[in-house]
Structure 1
Amino acid sequence: MSLSAVMGISLSGMQAQQTRATATANNVANAMTPGYDRLETTFSSEATGGVRASVSPTGDKTFDEMSNVDLAQEAVALAESEIGFKANASVWETGADMWDVLMSIKRD
């Protein structure tokens, strides 16, 4: 696997976690909206490597006077998204450092 492929995979991971964080923020913003159906993020692997995030309503039962958003669940989802983003960012930074080393070797 090439270095640029690894960096591309980590970039797709960061983008997927950003999508999840956006859906979570939307859920929190609409927690008090009557009848709101929370959004759920699902991840799938891509054939070329990496990950794709898709967002859709859960389809769970909602009520006329409240939504089906659990703020504790959303806090956990946001924490998981942050950890996933940081892990992918670390891979990206390591790849960038390796790229710099390769370029300095090539110049010398």
Structure 2
Amino acid sequence: MSISAIMNIAVSGMQVQQTRAAATANNIANAMTPRYDRLKTNFSSEDACGVSASVSPSGAATFDEGSNVDLTQEVVSLIESESGFKANASAFETGADMWDALLSIKRD
């Protein structure tokens, strides 16, 4: 696997976590909205080129006086999203460092 491929996979991972965080933020913002159906993020892997995410309603029962959003679950989702983003950013930075090392070797 090439350094570029690794960096592209890391970028797709960061984009997926960004999508997840946006859906979670939307759920938190609408937690008190009557009959709001929380959004869930679905992840799927793509053959050797990273991951992708799609957002869809959960399909769970909603309520006339509120939504089906569990704020505890949403906060945990934000924490997981942050950790996933940081891990992918670290992989991307490592790939960038490897490119820098290769360029300095080539120049010498």
The verdict on a shared fold, with TM-score over 0.5 as the criterion, is yes
Give the secondary-structure state (helix, strand or coil) at the position aligned to 2:31.
coil
- Look up the match of 1:38: 38
**2:91 alignment partner AA:** V
The answer to whether 1:80 aligns with 2:80 is yes
CA distance in 2, matches of 1:49, 1:93: 18
Q: Any idea what SS the aligned residue of 1:41 has? A: strand
1:12-36 residue CA offsets vs partner (Å, 9 max, x unmatched): 0000000000000000000000000
What one-letter code is carried by the residue in structure 2 that aligns with 1:27? Answer: N
Identity %: 74
Q: Distance in 2 between matches of 1:32 and 1:66?
A: 5
**Amino acid corresponding to residue 98 of structure 2 in structure 1:** M
Offset, 1:42: 1.0
- Taking structure 2 as the reference length, what is the TM-score of the superposition? 0.98
Deviations 1:38-82 (A, max 9, x none): 000011001232000110000000011110000000000000000
For the aligned residue pairs, the C-alpha RMSD in angstroms reads 0.6
CA distance, structure 1, for counterparts of residue 96 and residue 9 of structure 2: 13
In 2, the alpha carbon distance for the partners of 1:5 and 1:78 equals: 27
Structure 2: give runs of 5+ residues left out of the alignment: none
Task: List alignment gaps of at least 5 residues for structure 1.
Answer: none
Moved over 2 A (4+): none
Tell me which residue corresponds to 2:95.
Answer: 95
Count of residue correspondences: 108
**Map of 1:13 onto structure 2:** 13
Residue 20 of structure 2: SS of its match in structure 1? helix
Shift of 1:7: 0.1
